[in-house]
């Protein structure tokens, strides 16, 4: 006697999918662990993580459009400042290395 295997995908409630995706995004769980825990293939978990679905807070629902716009602008400004800071740090390192190299050449030239 042959056993029938089900080809139906296991239904995971939306809340559990969102929680799993959030745990993975936050680095508290990996894809394989979530897949084993929920009994679904890792590819399905990866689709959940790539999805734009996410929990919405009450504050987001009642916040005015102007406040949301300002919040997004502030977040973008913070990201731009962080990028500029990293660039300044890298350029300072390169300048320092070039100055040290130039200093060595200057010292060698004066000793001749």
CA distances (Å), origin 44, targets 2, 32, 82, 103: 28, 11, 34, 58
- Percent of the chain, pLDDT > 70? 85
* Segment 76-101 mean pLDDT: 94
Distance CA 19, CA 9 (A): 19
Model pLDDT for residues 28-62, shown as the tens digit of each residue: 999 999 999 999 999 999 999 998 888 788 877 88
> Please, what is the average pLDDT of the chain?
86
Q: Can you give the residue ranges of every domain in the chain?
A: 12-55, 61-112
pTM of this structure: 0.46
How much helix, strand and coil, in percent to the nearest 5, is found in the chain?
Answer: 70, 0, 30
Model pLDDT for residues 13-25, shown as the tens digit of each residue: 999 999 999 999 9
| CA contacts within 13 A on the Cβ side of 24 | 22
Banded pLDDT at 110 (limits 50, 70, 90) = low
Banded pLDDT at 1 (limits 50, 70, 90) = very low
Q: Which fold has domain 12-55?
A: Arc Repressor Mutant, subunit A (1.10.10)
- Percent of the chain, pLDDT > 90? 58
Distance CA 21, CA 54 (A): 8
Of 28, 24, 15, 13, the C-alpha closest to 55 is: 15
Q: How many CB atoms lie within 10 A of CB 63?
A: 13
């Amino acid at each position: 006697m042959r056993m029938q295997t089900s080809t139906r995908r296991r239904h995971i409630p939306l809340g559990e999918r969102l929680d799993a995706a959030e745990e993975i995004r936050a680095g508290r769980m990996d894809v394989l662990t979530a897949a084993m825990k929920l009994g679904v293939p890792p590819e399905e978990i990866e689709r959940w993580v790539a999805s734009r679905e996410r929990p919405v807070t009450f504050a987001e629902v009642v916040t005015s459009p102007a406040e949301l716009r300002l919040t997004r602008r502030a977040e973008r400004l913070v990201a731009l400042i962080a990028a500029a800071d990293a660039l300044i740090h890298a350029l300072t390192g390169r300048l320092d290395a070039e100055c040290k190299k130039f200093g060595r050449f200057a010292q060698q030239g004066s000793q001749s």
